[in-house]
Structure 1
């Protein structure tokens, strides 16, 4: 089945590439009434000879430029549309052998002044935009995203993958900083997955992917930043979107959302709510062979874990913007997340000796009740100065976030002999609360200095974590605390930063030089109990993070960009906790209080051709690479974390966007990377390397009469994950069909994700005479039908909403 998917994706690539072979060329530039470039205007090329038949379509780039390549000789017209402006059309343009190219120069659009009676989408965005410092995925551009979740959208984004534990990778590297509207989610693992699954795709505007951010951004995340932007309306009047979705895998699911926006005069208010009922399963099949020094098998473990989770997620955001003047904006927002869960499951473990004879069998049924809650408040302000100080701007933002989790666990470990007789029964109850409080504040200032632009800013972030694990054993009907398993860990961290950027445009050249300083201080305190001593550790360090960004626009069709940057990845809070916790009878995990941050130097060279083909060559070296380590202690596997190695990564990425025909457009992303590790694990030399390849392909089809279809898929090749584990290839193929209704005020969408249920994660590990394989399966094949209705009245206008300050700490809260 994987072969079929790969062949299909490559067939789409071959057809796409073959569409470029003819000499004709038409170009131009779209400006607004103030002679400023308009980005994202829709430019259509039609025949002037055959009843205005559609030929091609494209979109203007950040400079307002557009171009049509590979045209036949003939007579054409160009039609330009952009929401809020009057349509424009060119006179007849004639391409001949003697004049195969036409430059239309600058075309100025005039604004519309008529109020619209309803919110109607009049143009279609490109699925992927390649900007000078980032790649942008426009969520609404894919019909199948209607009724999907934010996680579904993220998994389909170019170069992005999500593993079974919810860890997000970008171009094969897991150290990604996840942001939501320019501030971090402060979550990882299952909690981040639950948050993203609670957000309906109809609430999202764009996914921004930045692999080498400037000094203005927090230095965390060596793989870069993924910024999820939600929709923000600042137009006069009332408008909103209602989304209703129903899905089915082996279990029924629902996906609903409501967003509303009202602006009257200087006040803009907004409200967003998302609800998802997501009942699903998660299976893990584990097989371990234990070998002696000669490679002969001495024992075997086979483990099967099946988990069903009843999961409700609720997501709320509301707030207000006050436009005090044309230059000053004040705002605040409140967000909340409420996620009750009821997990049930059973784990069966069978142990055999080297001859295959069953030694014992363990059966561990489990049940629980969990509740995850958070609340956040943000206040922000922005002011731009008058004409005498044109270009000067100051903004400030502050965030207070609280997280609270409760997790009640009940499990019983039943041990059976080889003949099936019950040997022992061990009931265990767990009460695992968690409280996190985070405060962040920042100020940014920008000012022209002659022909230069100067930016500077400061940020402070503090976090306090209180993580408890209280376990109770029942013996002869009497419950008592198990101090050997119980633990309480408190963590305090403070990060203070200052940065500066200096940039200048000189002809075809643009350069930006930046420097960021960050000081980190943290304290960890493991509280003692009658069986364990009290322990405290304190760390502090300061670092500089330079960035360099240079671009050269050779002509209207060729642009080159070079970027260099240094980044840091701090240990997750939980990874510093030295407490030893039990995963099962044969697997433990523990943190490492001596864990150091890892540092990465990134280098990138990219070339963009005609705004549709971008090629990027990148290299990075990570010192003190942090990864999971595995060690064998008797018949137990201990999972920990450590700074094990130097990691070198070199990669080549190709991104392509093409309107193939009048009804078919394609987007392709291919990334190949070579990764090498050189270090030590458990005081033994460790060297490993691997080549990996990722491929994403999305095909869109306009079928007429408001119908549209989508065929999309991805393939992630075999790779080495963080050193010790080899991850086998994984693939997915998804289909979507949509119908626009009621003059595009509503849409009905049907889609099936992971049609062949091929999105199964498999890994292999070989260490200290233990060979381990594991398969992770979840209900990724989902059929979904959704209805989206857009309502209200609006006219064009308004200023952008101010950014918030929380941009780094949330991504390092590792709760599972």
Structure 2
């Protein structure tokens, strides 16, 4: 998509320049450029030379359908030259333009591959770090040194407008509820589990990250804050090719990750695979303080908790794919994905209760353990048929996605009185299996119209079946008994029917796109009973429409100055397990409880952007969100519960700016800043919440070229104090550096990077609206690390690769875990 939009804008820029320079407009030349396999040659350079004086040259680029046009030509003879990376050049014979309105429509131009040309360009070519498109921002990661040995979560943390809190929750441009996709496919998880999954995905496998605040209608409407699409590397070359990445690092503990990408294409057949294996050795310390007060504001006691987490995870993953060209117009494909995350997480903690005078009343020492095994697998069957050379196409996708999580926990607590004598002990164990099956089918049709317009439409159906269980046992004097008060099972089924229609049209200086999507949801939940609780169930049916609109206007004929306005309506359905009504123990004094009455949240998002060339863009944003789904913490007895509720309404507004330019030939610099205000209002369990805060965020990247194969990189971010519902966070900041040396004839690279070099990134803050309780927290995630990595590319390099990434199961699987 990014290449198509870039080509489209470039073509119109050249077209505008042609108009400005032409006089006595009387004719035009049009043509169509295609690759050998019939694909449109997008962004190919087309030069028009006037004969016999060939020094007079006009240049344009092909658009998303491979077409080009030269307007307002004087009568005379011309020829056309076409060039593209990886292809041999083409030169036409003489073309006569007569004195009249008729257009010279050339025969279809077929470009032939040139492997030598691409070999030369692969070494020298480098894309912009940040590219601004009509409906998204694209961040290219290929040259990022500080991403060496990092995880996908750490890379996301450095993206423009992306913030990640202490629980791994991701916000985008001031709003929560962003939908995360990988190659337009689901990430399977959310919350802590999503964070853990992204930590297990090595950054070496990533190529681009697409940031979309208002995605087009063809995307699922899920994601209040929009969509973040993480694109992994795909080798686009004929023959046999591969890329190897390996790194070792040290934070609090050593860790390592390795990946291998292979591709083989011959004739009509294409095979590709990505294999990764990493060992993640994490560390986290949590300090939690709760202070208790009476109705007069006098402190009556306090609770402090010091907890340590040492998760050790082993993460193999595999992706296999095959494409086969049934004909020049029809391609079929299959993609298999799978991964296993096996881990242990010892969690010792010490809790201390003090009286009003600060004297210790009692202490609890807990030896908690958490063993888990996450498995996910999927299969995608796809077909793409091109009806003609104009871009009319039809695609189908069938998907199955499976997600299994088997987690076992142990809670062994010993209470000591104020004299340090053991008083009470408690031993609880549990088994928490989760099974989720997702089935989706979708079809998309695209039909080009006259006058640079396209009409597209599609339908989709999805079915989700989840089975969540919790088996709790108490152990007393070596005897194990079932805890029926906590043991439960929850079944959930959901079907979503969707259809969309999208239209876009291009004029000389105006681009317009509008879409309408309809989604109807039918959901059923069933909590099975036991000896202490009866069955309960619920049914929820609702339908909604989701309009989107984009307007891009070039303020000058050269296209240097432009204005873009966009609008989109979005939805966030509850995570499957947030609807699960049973209690999940976190520790002796903390638990999570689901909410089967949780409603979906809706948002209306507006954005207005001014851009000057590729240098700077400034945006104003406004978002109104209703039935905001937010974590709510409250006290009930001695236990602090966390649950998800619908808060009421939330307003997010602000301004952001993005600057990208090279201060020198050896220095490429980018800076993103935002100033936002988030305000929250709604009823909590025991109080009414009204809060607002204006916060500032900035991130910057400098890429440095020292010569002789040496390059460097410096990245940094700063976030001021912020508020998310009940949570008021402290400021955060971080600086990363990296150094790279090209080796082995520029096919290999040795990279050294250091993350959070000043050890300044801590997640801390206050939890508000707890009645007569004030709570603070501080997380130390051992962010500072040093990583040494090596990468190597091998094989041939003739570009010819069909790319099929979108499967249609994005929104459903994104809600799979919590």
Match of 2:345 in 1: 343
Note closer, same or farther for the CA distance 1:141–1:39 as it changes in structure 2 (3 Å cut).
farther
Match of 1:376 in 2: 378
Q: Counterparts of 2:216 and 2:262 in 1: how far apart (Å)?
A: 34
Shift of 1:168: 1.4
Q: Counterparts of 1:32 and 1:727 in 2: how far apart (Å)?
A: 57
User: Which ranges of structure 2 fall in alignment gaps of 5 or more residues?
Assistant: 1-15, 19-29, 35-39, 46-59, 67-81, 91-108
Match of 2:160 in 1: 158
Shift of 1:38: 6.3
Match of 1:257 in 2: 259
Match of 1:520 in 2: 521
Shift of 1:466: 0.9
Q: Counterparts of 1:169 and 1:383 in 2: how far apart (Å)?
A: 38
Partners of 2:713 and 2:737 within 8 A in 1: yes
Match of 1:74 in 2: none
Match of 1:96 in 2: none
Match of 1:535 in 2: 536
Match of 2:507 in 1: 506
Shift of 1:286: 0.2
Q: Counterparts of 1:232 and 1:541 in 2: how far apart (Å)?
A: 39
Q: Counterparts of 1:798 and 1:639 in 2: how far apart (Å)?
A: 48
Match of 1:592 in 2: 595
Q: For each residue in 1:35-91, what CA deviation from the matched residue of structure 2 results, as whole angstroms up to 9, or x when unmatched?
A: 9996599xxxxxxxxxxxxxxxxx999899xxxxxxxxxxxxxxx997425799xxx
Note closer, same or farther for the CA distance 1:60–1:415 as it changes in structure 2 (3 Å cut).
farther
Shift of 1:488: 1.2
Q: Counterparts of 2:258 and 2:782 in 1: how far apart (Å)?
A: 19
Q: Which residue among 568, 590, 594 is the counterpart of 2:571? A: 568
Partners of 1:40 and 1:125 within 8 A in 2: no
Q: Which residue among 265, 280, 283 is the counterpart of 1:281? A: 283
Instruction: Find out whether 1:147 has 2:132 as its counterpart.
Output: no
Partners of 2:732 and 2:763 within 8 A in 1: yes
Instruction: Find out whether 1:793 has 2:796 as its counterpart.
Output: yes
Partners of 1:373 and 1:403 within 8 A in 2: yes
Note closer, same or farther for the CA distance 1:798–1:303 as it changes in structure 2 (3 Å cut).
closer
Shift of 1:587: 2.2
Alignment of 1:385-396 (within 5 A): 385-387=387-389, 390-396=390-396
Note closer, same or farther for the CA distance 1:532–1:60 as it changes in structure 2 (3 Å cut).
farther
Partners of 1:198 and 1:315 within 8 A in 2: no
Q: For each residue in 1:304-336, what CA deviation from the matched residue of structure 2 results, as whole angstroms up to 9, or x when unmatched?
A: 110111111111101101122232111001111
Task: Provide the secondary structure at the position in 1 that maps to 2:814.
Answer: helix
Match of 1:93 in 2: none
Q: Counterparts of 1:719 and 1:448 in 2: how far apart (Å)?
A: 46
Partners of 2:764 and 2:777 within 8 A in 1: yes
Partners of 1:126 and 1:141 within 8 A in 2: no
Task: Provide the secondary structure at the position in 2 that maps to 1:376.
Answer: strand
Q: Counterparts of 2:569 and 2:491 in 1: how far apart (Å)?
A: 30
Shift of 1:538: 1.0
Match of 2:777 in 1: 774
Shift of 1:114: 4.5
Q: Which residue among 690, 695, 701 is the counterpart of 1:692? A: 695
Match of 2:816 in 1: 813
Partners of 1:61 and 1:611 within 8 A in 2: no
Task: Provide the secondary structure at the position in 2 that maps to 1:756.
Answer: coil
Shift of 1:195: 2.6
Match of 1:224 in 2: 226
Q: For each residue in 1:436-484, what CA deviation from the matched residue of structure 2 results, as whole angstroms up to 9, or x when unmatched?
A: 1111111001113444421110111111111111111111221111111
Shift of 1:380: 0.6
Partners of 2:131 and 2:139 within 8 A in 1: yes
Shift of 1:632: 2.4
Partners of 2:144 and 2:713 within 8 A in 1: yes
Q: Counterparts of 2:344 and 2:487 in 1: how far apart (Å)?
A: 23
Instruction: Find out whether 1:176 has 2:175 as its counterpart.
Output: no
Instruction: Find out whether 1:632 has 2:610 as its counterpart.
Output: no
User: Which ranges of structure 1 fall in alignment gaps of 5 or more residues?
Assistant: 1-26, 42-58, 65-79, 89-107
Partners of 2:461 and 2:495 within 8 A in 1: yes
Match of 1:433 in 2: 433
TM-score by length of 2: 0.86
Shift of 1:631: 2.1
Q: For each residue in 1:359-418, what CA deviation from the matched residue of structure 2 results, as whole angstroms up to 9, or x when unmatched?
A: 11111102232111111000111111124xx33111111110111111122221101101
Q: Counterparts of 1:121 and 1:441 in 2: how far apart (Å)?
A: 41
Note closer, same or farther for the CA distance 1:578–1:448 as it changes in structure 2 (3 Å cut).
same
Shift of 1:586: 2.3
Shift of 1:196: 2.2
Note closer, same or farther for the CA distance 1:109–1:559 as it changes in structure 2 (3 Å cut).
farther
Partners of 1:195 and 1:313 within 8 A in 2: no
Match of 2:412 in 1: 412
Q: For each residue in 1:75-129, what CA deviation from the matched residue of structure 2 results, as whole angstroms up to 9, or x when unmatched?
A: xxxxx997425799xxxxxxxxxxxxxxxxxxx9997625479694331121111
Note closer, same or farther for the CA distance 1:241–1:561 as it changes in structure 2 (3 Å cut).
same
Shift of 1:158: 1.0
Shift of 1:667: 0.7
Q: Counterparts of 1:593 and 1:401 in 2: how far apart (Å)?
A: 24
Shift of 1:663: 0.7
Q: Which residue among 190, 195, 202 is the counterpart of 1:200? A: 202
Shift of 1:764: 0.4
Q: Counterparts of 1:417 and 1:443 in 2: how far apart (Å)?
A: 66
Q: Counterparts of 1:83 and 1:145 in 2: how far apart (Å)?
A: 27
Shift of 1:797: 2.5
Instruction: Find out whether 1:297 has 2:286 as its counterpart.
Output: no
Task: Provide the secondary structure at the position in 2 that maps to 1:391.
Answer: coil
Q: Counterparts of 1:716 and 1:40 in 2: how far apart (Å)?
A: 41
Partners of 2:33 and 2:110 within 8 A in 1: no
Task: Provide the secondary structure at the position in 1 that maps to 2:195.
Answer: helix
Task: Provide the secondary structure at the position in 1 that maps to 2:496.
Answer: strand
Task: Provide the secondary structure at the position in 2 that maps to 1:433.
Answer: strand
Partners of 1:195 and 1:337 within 8 A in 2: no
Q: Counterparts of 1:771 and 1:456 in 2: how far apart (Å)?
A: 53
Q: For each residue in 1:179-216, what CA deviation from the matched residue of structure 2 results, as whole angstroms up to 9, or x when unmatched?
A: 11112212112332333233322322210000011111
Q: Counterparts of 2:240 and 2:17 in 1: how far apart (Å)?
A: 36
Partners of 2:33 and 2:111 within 8 A in 1: no
Q: Counterparts of 1:241 and 1:802 in 2: how far apart (Å)?
A: 19
Partners of 2:185 and 2:805 within 8 A in 1: no
TM-score by length of 1: 0.86
Task: Provide the secondary structure at the position in 2 that maps to 1:374.
Answer: strand
Q: Counterparts of 1:265 and 1:110 in 2: how far apart (Å)?
A: 16
Partners of 2:550 and 2:567 within 8 A in 1: yes
Partners of 2:152 and 2:198 within 8 A in 1: yes
Match of 1:18 in 2: none
Give the length in aligned residue pairs. Answer: 734
Alignment of 1:287-686 (within 5 A): 287-387=289-389, 390-451=390-451, 452-555=453-556, 556-682=559-685, 684-686=687-689
Task: Provide the secondary structure at the position in 2 that maps to 1:432.
Answer: strand
Partners of 2:519 and 2:545 within 8 A in 1: yes
